[in-house]
């Protein structure tokens, strides 16, 4: 767990995607003088709705410290091939284990351009909304330590990667976000007519988390 919290008072970039990183963005808007939301387009089937939700969340947040969403393009179809995330076929459903939703090397890909942008833009910290129990190899402390060293060697300056929610569950993070426009966040991997499908692994996770947090779920689902 990140114990040195001084980074919260300086400029920070937040890799934004779903509700966890949105809550982190909202928290940092109260402490940091400059918060840069960063989003990476990979060419995945849910990104149009996800990106729109992030822009809506930032607009509703209305925080002066939060900059406009900055988008990087990094198409992965040539790398992933006919993966469910690029085709929308056989998307992991509510009964699938967490490991089924792995996007191989996602954090490696997400952070590559972001770290260089931070180096060029005078932003010393990248914050991620990773949660407790993340089972993927590119979410380990060893990975992030190696990544920080690679960035230092590759750019000549350090960019710190922090994961302040790594000891928390999704329900605990949602409780921290009580009062934020959580209805504007996105989780679904198989959008239906602009709505959460209600049947994929991430929709099920979202529904459970709101229930466990004791909060009303403001999400419109195509089916429950």
Residue 2 has a pLDDT of: 44
Mean pLDDT score across all residues of the chain: 96
d(CA 123, CA 58): 19
Q: What percentage of the chain has pLDDT greater than the value 90?
A: 94
Q: What is the pLDDT of residue 1?
A: 40
- Residue pair 210/177 in contact by the 8 Å Cβ criterion: no
CA 190 to chain centroid, in Å, comes to 17
pLDDT category of residue 129 using cuts at 50, 70 and 90:
very high
Tens digit of each residue's pLDDT (9 = 90 or more) over 139-196: 999 999 999 999 999 999 899 999 999 999 999 999 999 999 999 999 999 999 999 9
In this prediction the pTM is: 0.95
Residue 44 burial (CB count, 10 A) = 22
pLDDT tens string 202-222: 999 999 999 999 999 999 999
Residue 62 structure tokens: 């209305």
Domains and CATH numbers, the chain: 7-213 (3.40.50.620)
How many angstroms separate the Cα of 167 from the Cα of each of 14, 20, 69, 161, 173? Answer: 18, 13, 27, 16, 10
């Amino acid at each position: 767990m990140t114990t040195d919290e001084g980074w919260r008072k300086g400029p920070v970039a937040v890799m934004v995607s779903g509700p966890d990183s949105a809550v982190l963005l909202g928290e940092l808007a109260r402490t940091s003088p400059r918060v840069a939301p960063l989003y990476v387009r990979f060419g995945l089937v849910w990104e149009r709705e996800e990106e729109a939700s992030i822009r809506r969340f930032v607009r509703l947040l209305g925080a002066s410290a939060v900059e406009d969403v900055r988008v990087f393009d990094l198409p992965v179809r040539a790398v992933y091939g006919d993966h469910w995330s690029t085709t929308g076929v056989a998307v992991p459903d509510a009964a699938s284990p967490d490991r089924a939703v792995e996007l191989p090397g996602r954090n490696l890909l997400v952070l590559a351009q972001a770290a260089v942008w931070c180096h060029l833009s005078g932003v010393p910290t990248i914050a991620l909304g990773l949660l407790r129990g993340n089972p993927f190899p590119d979410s380990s402390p060893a990975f992030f330590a190696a990544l920080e060293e690679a960035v230092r060697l590759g750019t000549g300056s350090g960019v710190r990667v922090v994961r302040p929610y790594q000891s928390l569950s999704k329900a605990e993070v949602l409780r921290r976000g009580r009062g934020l426009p959580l209805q504007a966040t996105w989780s679904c991997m198989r959008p239906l007519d602009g709505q959460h499908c209600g049947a994929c692994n991430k929709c099920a996770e979202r529904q459970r988390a709101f229930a466990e947090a004791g909060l009303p779920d403001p999400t419109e689902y195509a089916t429950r």
